[in-house]
Structures are given as structure tokens and as C-alpha cells.
Structure 1
């Protein structure tokens, strides 16, 4: 009895610990579902604009407000896209690079939209809980059997308890994976529906899945289909193709203008992330297409060869003057090579063509600030305040605001902007110092004084 009592007390302690661990696992799952630190996210007005163009009709077909979904770009060469943290889609640069047509990327985005519209992420949490509870119940039953076996001196009963624990874990895992495969199949069907509703082909989604299947052929050859989170690729492709061919839009093609935008986005990714060697491999000098010249211009200015980069960029702007991103590139190339005064005009031209782009507003503001003229600084402040409406308040925008206010002689606002930047960066000491300095310069109770007070409150919390 004493021994049995000890085991049951141990079992009670195990239940408490297991419950705590289960809570931790669920918390970890929730934490991993939001944009995490350390993920190499990139920002680019052109690529973000292209993804919005791809997703807007799909979202509308799915009954989702396009403004409610945020699409993030991850600097990762692997083909991948996923939904996390509610209505957030993460897209690897590798998906764009390996998509031969816009339709291939659009098909994957339609699939991810199916996950959002189906509420799969929220339901996945329920399934995770369910899988945990199945495992917990099985483990507790197993431990109880072990305890009873030990108390009765039965080694067979103890072994049976261990078998129950192992079996319950396998059952929970398989139940969860079965559910995950069902969600993937559901998202596939939803994607077909959205593509059909928007007059687009599902052929691109199928060819993209075929590429993934080829990439993973060796791994999948010996895989157990029952321990996969996705349907087996060839079965999945066959089912999709059969359904897709019934659509009157199966042979629909992307417009030439959309194909060009897609190819330019790919060229930009290679130009910025690959370096000169990667650019020359992908776009040899004999290739005089617009994407090839775009990639080469980026590679040239990135290595400091502004002399040879500018003629290429000027050729692009002359050929397609309504493209705001060519003007943006010229402004950035000049700005990063210490020619801010020359960067202002192309930045403003880009802004004229795309007036609501927060990222281009910030670029134009930076060019104006770097000219070190009070009149330009006042114009920069207006642009930065506009950018904050779409881009949110970031340390970078507050740093630029601090510089602009300082150039106009508005030291109080410069100090306040510096304090806000420091707070967002986690530099509590500097935030407190600058907020106190700013508060002393503003009238008590004014909006700026209250804002400085808020900074002091947040920075002062332990």
C-alpha cells in the first residue's frame, strides 16, 4: 500500500506537470503562429505591390477584405508560402524566383487564402489541443496500468501500460496528421474555386506542385502517407488536374504586362540578394531584356559602380517612364552613393506615379533630409507623417523625423522623435532622457507633452 500510494502521488504530480507542459506547448504553437523575430523579412514596394495585385481578386472571391490580410516577404530561396498568426501570409522569395509565370505564384496564394477563409489556423489549435488530450489520457491510463502492475508485482501489466502510452501517442499524432491532410485538400479545392471565380487557370498551381514533388522525390519515395501533413504529391496533383481541366479558364494565360512585372520582381530579388556573379549567371551580357538590364543595374550600383549603373537605369526609365520602381531605383542609387540632391527629383517622380506608397514616401523624405536644407526638411516631415499612416510608427521613421525637425530648428520635436525611436528599439535609458528633455520644452498638457509623458511611462516600466 505504501508503495502503491507513492506511485499514485507520483502520478498526481505527473498530471500537474503534464498539464503545465501541455499549456507550454500550446503557447509555443501560438507564439510560432505570429511574425517571429529572426525571420529574414524584407520590405520592397515593388514586390509588395505585385503580391497585392495577385491576391486582391483572390481575397474578394473568398469573401475576405483585402485590407485585413497582411502579406510578408521572407528572404529565403526555398519554394514556400504559409499562413500564420491569423490573416497573415508569408511568401518566400524562392516561390517567386521558381515561378515561371505569375499564375504559378497566384495558385499558391489562392491555396493559402483557402486556409484563411476556412479558418484552418484557429481550428488547427483545437486539433492540437485534441491531440494533446488524446496523448495525455493515454499516458495517464498507461501510468495507472504501470502503477497497478507494480503494486501487484506483475511485470506483464507494467509492460502493457508502456504499450498503452506508446499507442496513444501514435494515435494522437496520426489523428492530427489526418486532420492536417484534410485541411490541405480543402485549401486545394478552395483555390480551384477562387481561380475559377476570377477567370484564372489552376494550371500554374499544378505545375508548381509538380516542381515541389520533383524536389522532394527522394524523400517521398519511402514515406508513409499516413505520417504526412500534406496529401501525397502525385495523388494531389492528379486530383487537382482532373478538377482543374473542367474549368473554362484552364488554358487562360497571364497578360504580357503581368508577366513583365513578375519577371522584373524576380530580377530585383536576384540583383539585391544574389550579387554580380549570380546576376551574370542568370542574365548574361547578351541578354538585353528589360529584366536583365534591371538586375544588372541593381548589381552595379550595389557594388558602388554608379557611373555604369546610371546609364542603364536611365535607359529603363526612358523605355518605360510610367514605371515608378525604375525612378525609385535611380533615387536609391544616387542616395546611397552620396548624391542626395540629385536623388530628390527621381524620388519625387516615383511618388507622383505612386503617391500612396509609404516606402517611397520614406525614400523621398530621406533624400530631402540629406540635402540638409530647412525647406526640404519641412517637406520631409509631411511625407514621413503620411508614411506612418500606412507603414506604422517605426524606429527608422522617427530617426528621420528627428533629423528633419533638428534641421528646421524644432529641437523639442527632434528630442521627442528621438525618444520614441529609442523606446521602439528597446533603449529605455535614452528614451527616458530624451522624453524628459522634450517634455520640459512643451507646454504642460499639450499633445506633445502628453506623448512625452507616455514615453516616460512605458520606458519606466520594469
Structure 2
């Protein structure tokens, strides 16, 4: 029996289209990873760090077209050197970026650049570049498939390959234009804020050194989403050196605070051996003692950790962040009663800063003393009013409600915590239990209903993506 002459052609078309679709999927995957998956990242929250970020970015926001209360800087736990904007007016910094920077003005240079992305509407306009690129991809897919169907298999595959290359080239060019635009805007903001551009240049030079180490070709940036760091230094150096702020000294107080935060971040995230190597006992500076306190606590040596913190408090008895750490060490080493004084004072000194207040609320609950229930409820309710995106505070509020016998509101608080952690099944269950125990149409009942609706919608959306 002879095969139909059409079968090999059909097989060729199928093979060609399969490869074409695979190429298209690969290209779309490249587009997808350019938008950072924020939800999958581990976000670090720290009262002192967030206060520093707010003060560092404030002068830059003040000279932009944005409102300071709408701009947020968020820290992600990753040793990568990266920063990006997403979700409106939010900047995301990897902790590795702070570790790589030697000064606060280097980070302010990055902040100015990311602010340029926000004011330029680059996240919103991302679809323009992606849309144009995928348009080329789809067109090449259609033309290539037609050529294959006509029997010109090699020509068809050539069209597909050329289409993929053109699409990627167009998208990368679009991205590089946005990066240059953000560089230019960042330079304007630094100048207007009176902040030297030396930090920006220094940080780009660091990035250039990393490019050299990784063996990234330095001839051109055609195949990159960003211009080469050397190109950026060349373009920006003259701009910055001509600016009156070039020789202006950095803000000494911001720099002092930055070195503290950088040290505590290393102590919190790094292996203790690494921290103690960088900050040996011979270094008695405040950042070094701060970092060692975290390293010793992380190593389960509370006495050594408390020794470092006690020395810091001798010099600065009203430093709320030293008090916060002292309370945290005592609490997490099994002495919640001993932690109360430090944490209560830290809360008062920071005007009920919600992250510190939630830790204080946890300590009050951990004493297992009923006399503290009312105080814990008050502290934790105030914390979630100021910052309702803290799942730890919501969870602790649920615990104290449960201990007081208010199971419905304990479940409502648990639902809030679950929703923030994207535990949609848990949020649905807890919100429905809460609704069953709360009077209908009251504010708490309506909130439980809202959580249930949101969680169900997100649960369905997540299942569709699988």
C-alpha cells in the first residue's frame, strides 16, 4: 500500500508549526521573566530599614511629579544585585544590592533611576514593547506556516527564525530605550535634590566589574535589555560632573544610618560565620556590634547577642531599634517577660511603629499571663490599623482573640493573615467560620464576606494557571 503524497507534507507542516510554537513560547517566556514575579519573592520587613528607605527616597520624590505617600521601597531577600519597579509606584530592592553598595548615595542613585521608570510610566508602557514584539512573532508564524504548507519548508523555517530574531531585537531595543530614559530622569532628580551623582557612577562601575567577571561581551548591548554599564558611565559622567552637586558631601546622618542597616541586614541574612568574619571582635564600631548581635542570636548564643546589644544601649539608651533587638532576643530565647520593658519602650519611642508593636503584642501573648490580654489586643489592633499588610500582626491578633474566647473574630484575623500569605483555601475556611459567628451586615461580617470573595476569585485564578 502506498502512502498518500500529502502525508509527508502534513507531517512537515506539523513539525514546522510545532517548532515555531516552541520558539514562540520561548520568546514569550523571555518577556514574562522581564517582569519580576514579586509574589514569589521573600520580602524582608524591618522598621529601621523602612524608615531609612523612606528618608533616602523622600528628597528625590519631592523633586519629581509624585506624591511621597504613594511611593514605597520594598526589600526582597536575595543576594542578587537588582532593583525594579512594579505594582504602581513601588520600588523593589534585592538585599544583595544593599550589600554591594558602599554608601547611601549609591543606593540613592539606583532609587533615582527607578523613580525615572515610575514617572516615565514604563511599567504601563511595557505592553507596548511586548505587543509590538509578539505582533512580529505571530506574523512570522503565519507566514512561515504558509511557506511550509506550500512546500518551501526551509524558507518557512527561515521566516520563523528571522521573525523570532526581529521580535526579540525589537523588544530589547524598546527596553534599552526605557533604561536610558530612566538614567536621564534619575540624573535630573539627583541634581534637583542636591545629591551627588558620584554614587550612581560608582555603582555602575561595580556593575561593570560584575559584567567583566561573568564574561559578558562589552562590544555592544544589542542582545541585552539594559545598556552596558560602561556605556552608561560614559554617558552619565559628563552630566554628573557638570552638576553643582557633584562635589557636595553626602548627608552624614543618612550615611551613618545606612551603614547600620547594611550591617544588621548582613547579620540577619548571612551565615553567622560570614558576618563574624566581616565584623570581627576587634571592630568595635556601632555597625559591627549591631551585625554581631544578629549573628550571635542567629547562632543561638543569646548571652553573646545580649552583650553586644547592652553595649550599644549603654551609648544610646533611647535607640528604639537597639531596644527592639534586645526585646526580640529575650523573647525568642524563651524570656518573654524580660522582653516587655524593652519592647514597650521601643513602641513608645517610635509612636507605635506597627512592626515593633506587633512584636510587642507577640511578647505580651507569649507570657501566657491573662493580665496582658487587653493590652495585647489594643497594641495589635493599632498595629493592623497602621499597617494592614502584616500577616504576623493579624495572626497574633487572632491568637489573643482566641484566648479571650472570641472565636469568630479570631477566625476573621486568621483569614486576614491567610489572605496576605496567599493561602486562599485557609482564607476561605476562616472567613466562612467568622461569618457564621458574627452578626450579619456588621462591618466585621462584611469584611469576612469580602475576604471570602477575594480568596475564591484568587483560588480560581491560580487553578486556571496550572
| Shorter-chain TM-score tier | 0.7 to 0.9
Is residue 266–residue 291 contact of structure 2 (8 Å, CA) maintained in 1?
A: yes
Q: Distance in 1 between matches of 2:432 and 2:76?
A: 38
Q: Which residue of 1 aligns with 2:197?
A: 202
Task: Evaluate the alpha carbon distance shift between residue 339 and residue 201 of structure 1 in structure 2; reply closer, same or farther with a 3 A threshold.
Answer: same
CA distance in 2 between partners of 1:353 and 1:323 (Å): 8
1:324 is the counterpart of 2:320: yes
Counterpart selection for 1:347 from 343, 363, 383: 343
Matches within 5 A, 1:26-425: 33=35, 35-150=37-152, 158-218=153-213, 219-221=215-217, 224-418=220-414, 420-421=416-417
Query: For the residues of structure 2 that align with 1:85 and 1:34, how far apart are their CA atoms?
Result: 11
CA distance in 2, matches of 1:323, 1:395: 26
Question: Which deviates further from its counterpart, 70-79 or 429-438?
Answer: 429-438
Equivalence for 2:464: none
List per-residue Cα deviations over 1:166-204 (Å, max 9, x = no partner). 222222222222222111111111111000010001110
Consecutive unaligned residues in structure 1, runs of 5 or more:
151-157
Deviation at 1:4, TM superposition (A): 8.9
Note if contact 1:380-1:404 (Cα within 8 Å) is conserved in structure 2.
Answer: yes
- Measure, in 2, the Cα distance between the counterparts of 1:145 and 1:434: 58
Q: Deviations over 1:267-323 (max 9, x none)?
A: 101211223311221111111101111111122222232223223212212312343
Distance across 1 between alignment mates of 2:252 and 2:353 = 24
- Report the secondary structure of 1:250's partner residue: helix
CA RMSD in angstroms comes to 3.5
The 1:75–1:445 alpha-carbon spacing in structure 2 relative to 1, beyond 3 Å, is: closer
Return the alpha-carbon distance in structure 2 between the equivalents of residues 427 and 182 of structure 1: 39
Aligned length: 452
- CA distance in structure 2 between the partners assigned to 1:242 and 1:426 by the alignment: 47
Structure 2 unaligned residues grouped into runs of 5+:
458-466
Q: Which moved more, 1:261-270 or 1:354-363?
A: 354-363
- Partners of 1:15 and 1:140 within 8 A in 2: no
Deviation at 1:254, TM superposition (A): 1.6
Q: Spell out, residue by residue over 1:47-84, the C-alpha distance to the aligned partner (whole angstroms, 9 max, x if none).
A: 12211111122122221222223322122223221223
Instruction: Tell me how far 1:341 sits from its aligned partner.
Output: 1.5
TM-score (norm 2): 0.85
* Per-residue deviation, residues 185-238 of structure 1 (Å, max 9, x unmatched): 111111110000100011101111101101111523366532122222222211
Q: In the TM superposition, what is the alpha-carbon distance from 1:417 to its structure 2 partner?
A: 3.3
Between the aligned partners of 1:22 and 1:270, the Cα distance in structure 2 is 41
> Quick one: distance in 2 between partners of 1:316 and 1:113?
35
8 Å Cα contact 1:26-1:129 kept in structure 2: no
Question: Is the Cα–Cα contact under 8 Å of residues 220 and 228 in structure 2 kept in the other structure?
Answer: no
Asked whether the equivalents of residues 58 and 194 of structure 1 are also in contact (C-alpha less than 8 Å), the reply is yes
CA shift, 1:129, in A, is 1.0
| Alpha-carbon distance between aligned partners in 2 of 1:34 and 1:232, rounded to the nearest angstrom | 20
Confirm or deny: 8 A CA contact 1:372 1:407 kept in the other structure: no
SS at match of 2:150: helix
Change (3 A) 1:168 1:380: same
Q: With structure 1 as the length reference, what TM-score do the two structures score?
A: 0.86
CA contact (8 A) 1:34 1:85 kept: no
Query: What corresponds to 1:155 in structure 2?
Result: none
The 3 A distance-change label for structure 1 pair 244 and 448 is closer
Q: Quick check: 2:176–2:227 contact (8 Å CA) kept in 1?
A: yes
Give the C-alpha shift of residue 416 in structure 1.
4.0
Between the aligned partners of 1:262 and 1:422, the Cα distance in structure 2 is 33
Distance 1:26 1:375, change over 3 A: farther
Give distance in 2, aligned partners of 1:435 and 1:183: 43
